[in-house]
Amino acid sequence: LCFRRYLLMSLTSCLFWNTFDFSAAVDSKPNILLFLADDLGIGDIGCYGNNSIRTPNIDRLAREGVKLTQHIAAASLCTPSRAAFLTGRYPIRSGMASSNRYRALQWNAGSGGLPANETTFARLLQQQGYTTGLIGKWHQGVNCEFFNDHCHHPLSHGFDYFYGMPLTLRNNCQKNTPPDLDAALQDKLWLYSQIITLAVLTLTAGKLTGLISTRWKIIACVTLVGGLFFISWYSSYGFVQYWNCILMRNHDVTEQPMRLERTAFLMLKEAISFIKRNRHGPFLLFVSFLHVHTPLFTTAKFLGKSRHGLYGDNVEEMDWMVGKILDVLDKEDLKNHTFTYFASDHGGHLEAQNGSAQLGGWNGIYKGGKGMGGWEGGIRVPGIFRWPGVLPAGTVIDEPTSLMDIYPTVVHLAGGILPHDRVIDGRNLMPLLQGRAQKSDHEFLFHYCGSYLHAVRWHQKDSGAIWKAHFVTPVFHPPGAGACYGKKNCPCFGEGVTHHNPPLLFDLSRDPSEARPLSADTEPLFDTVIRKIGRAIEEHRRTLTPVPEQLSVYNMVWKPWLQPCCGTFPFCWCDKEGDSTQIL
């Protein structure tokens, strides 16, 4: 009897360890640590094939966990991609997809942002007893009607603590760097202002010399109109550094404008402090890096250290920050009890250049980049998971997955329940990550550029084929360049795109670089695949409901009454951080 009982216990124990008893893991509610880089290309880190930029800490995550090779962002620009990440839903469902040329939030004092009726994974984890924190970039809006209503703020979307930048880095945040916020529009406004000034001077000189017969009242009116025109636009674009480049702690502005030379240290200090404060858990920490978005401000410790210029320096600094945060997990004995994830919000920015110097990322073998809704280079990103003892180390998975999958995955880990009153497009990844499932739950993924559907991916599970049909593609400039050089990003509509009928079709399982489009002559299944994808689009569109467009032109406009300000508007400047740049 004793022997039989011993044998039964041994078999049960063996079964437990071989299958990573997930019910016990769920009961323990692991800490959740999410790293999200900004504009990082899939080819920029060592474990995805880069040999010129050193990323030992991110590579360590991949060695100790699971690496995804077909991890897809729901959008190719920051605001919509992050909205999808936070909600598990395509951004078109929440109104975070744009039908105009403004595809990401432009101002802290705009009125658009993540709607209050959207439920983030932070909110659901908060309900499960998690302490939730966001350190870094938000870019989902701040206010709706007043400067302190904070309707779009992280604390209104399930985060208990926020320290970081409510918008995003821009060249305007760094002195002596060409501005990139509506640069073409600013040039036009300057030109119009100069024309009005020249007209006033000409009229005045003509009046004084008697060459022009006009009334002083007319000259005064032209001067007044010109002055009001100049003030109307320069009050916003002339002070971008003060309006947009700010740091907040919860609802309070702590730096206005921010001092970039110490921002990385402050972000790291805040992330480490959050982990230490909440080491008894469970906690959710979302570390949303400002790296590696232009202007690529990098501290002196890392300048000139990489073999890939300023961009490589910035990537290596971010990797160092990842390592410091992982070290804290080790020191606090939290490594084995923390579900860790690393990804980028979309592909690298190919058009980011300064002369001949490339300031954007590398997307490996994949065509296109940031801003391109369909091509792989804009949406295929790194995806790495680690949870020692639960996820098998050193695993590589080549199945279609999405950043939207993080939503149901972390809600599942926390023991929460997904909302039943809306469509959730993400899928729980745990069966795939643990090896309990061999195929992704995604059959179709829809690739939007703003609110325009550019491409669709079909995962034909019985054959292993990954079909991708492009209905719209950007027109590269110059032709064949692979990007829209001379513009900030490729457009989604208008003369800057080409519509394809029949669509361009690729089998990514055989042609991941999308170099050889198929046709009815070269692919026997061409018509069948196109019909199947067409029916999927019809079904997908039936699940969409009209919602207010958060990225409308009106919502994008700078509104002074919505401006976060640490003083009395317009006297908005402060530094509540002192000179503290020393960490630990």
Dump pLDDT digits (tens) for 383-417.
Answer: 999 999 999 999 999 999 999 999 999 999 999 99
Average pLDDT (542-561) is 96
CA distance 167 to 189: 24
Q: Is 283 helix (H, G, I), strand (E, B) or coil?
A: strand
- Hey, which residues are catalytic here? 78, 139
- Position 24 scores a pLDDT of 40
Q: How do 247-249 and 252-256 pair as beta strands?
A: antiparallel
Report the SS3 class of residue 391.
coil
Residue 162 scores a pLDDT above 50 = yes
Say what angle helices 78-87 and 406-413 make with each other, to 10 degrees.
30
Q: How big is the chain, counted in residues?
A: 584
Order the strands of the 497-507 sheet from edge to edge. Answer: 444-449, 452-460, 465-474, 497-507
Query: Residue 361: helix, strand or coil by DSSP?
Result: coil
366 φ, ψ (degrees, to nearest 5): -95, 140
Strand ranges inside 279-368, DSSP E: 283-288, 338-344, 353-354, 357-358
- Asked if 35 and 324 count as a contact pair (C-beta separation under 8 A), the reply is no
CB 376 within 8 A of CB 366: yes
pLDDT of residue 106: 95
Question: In degrees to the nearest 10, what's the CA dihedral of 24, 26, 30, 33?
Answer: 140
CB 372 within 8 A of CB 76: yes
The DSSP symbol for 42 reads: G
User: With contact defined as beta carbons under 8 Å apart, do 127 and 204 qualify?
Assistant: no
- Which ranges of 216-367 would DSSP assign to H, the alpha helix? 216-237, 240-244, 260-277, 309-331
Residue from 501, 524, 400, 552 nearest 74 by CA: 400
Average pLDDT of the chain, as a whole number: 92
Q: Span 88-98, mean pLDDT?
A: 98
C-alpha closest to that of 68 among 311, 399, 355, 313: 399
**Distant-in-sequence, close-in-space partners of 155: CB < 8 Å, separation ≥ 6:** 162, 250, 251
Residue 248 φ then ψ, to 5°: -130, 145
pLDDT-derived band at 338 (thresholds 50, 70, 90) equals: very high
Burial (0-12, 13-18, 19+ Cβ within 10 Å), 50:
buried
Task: Tell me how far apart the alpha carbons of residues 369 and 394 are, in angstroms, rounded to a whole number.
Answer: 28
- Token couple for 353: 């250049």
- Looking only at the bridges linking them, the beta strands covering 247-249 and 161-165 are antiparallel
Instruction: Return the beta strands (E) in 323-443 as ranges.
Output: 338-344, 353-354, 357-358, 380-386, 395-397, 401-402
Residue 426 has a pLDDT of 98
C-alpha 357/C-alpha 352 separation (Å) is: 9
Is residue 310 within 8 A of residue 299, CB to CB? The reply is: no
The yes-or-no verdict on residue 22 having pLDDT over 50 is: no
Q: How far is 348 from 28, CA to CA, in rounded Å?
A: 37
Q: Which amino acid appears at position 313 of this protein?
A: D
**537 three-class SS:** helix
Q: Is the peptide bond before 56 cis (omega within 30 degrees of 0)?
A: no
CA angle (126, 141, 44) in 5-degree steps: 85
The C-alpha atoms of residue 263 and residue 567 are separated, in whole angstroms, by 21
Using an 8 Å Cβ cutoff, are 302 and 317 in contact? yes
Ranges of each domain in the chain: 50-169+245-562, 183-238
Identity of residue 330: D
Q: Nearest to residue 245, comparing CAs of 276, 290, 283, 195?
A: 290
Q: pLDDT tens digit string along 259-287?
A: 999 999 999 999 999 999 999 989 999 99
Q: What CA–CA distance (Å, rounded) separates 387 from 565?
A: 41
Distance CA 174, CA 288 (A): 20
Question: So what's the pLDDT on residue 175?
Answer: 81
Residue 25 predicted with pLDDT over 90? no
Between 260-277 and 309-331, two packed helices, what is the crossing angle to 10 degrees?
A: 20
Evaluate if residue 504 carries a pLDDT over 60: yes
Task: Give the distance, in angstroms, between the CA of residue 461 and the centroid of all CA atoms in the same chain.
Answer: 29
- Compute the distance between CA of residue 487 and CA of residue 494 in angstroms, rounded to an integer: 15
Q: What is the mean pLDDT of residues 547-557?
A: 96
Structure tokens at 228: 């009001």
Q: What is the pLDDT of residue 582?
A: 52
Under 8 Å CB-to-CB from 97, ≥6 apart: which residues?
A: 75, 80, 90, 91, 448, 450, 451, 549, 551
At the top level of CATH, which class does the domain 50-169+245-562 belong to? alpha beta
For residue 561, pLDDT beyond 70: yes
Q: What is the mean pLDDT of residues 363-388?
A: 97
Query: Averaged over 79-96, what is the pLDDT?
Result: 98
The residues near 333 (Cβ < 8 Å, ≥ 6 apart) are: none
Stated as kind and residue range, the H or E segment containing 75 is none
* Dihedral sign for Cα atoms in the order 553, 557, 561, 562: positive
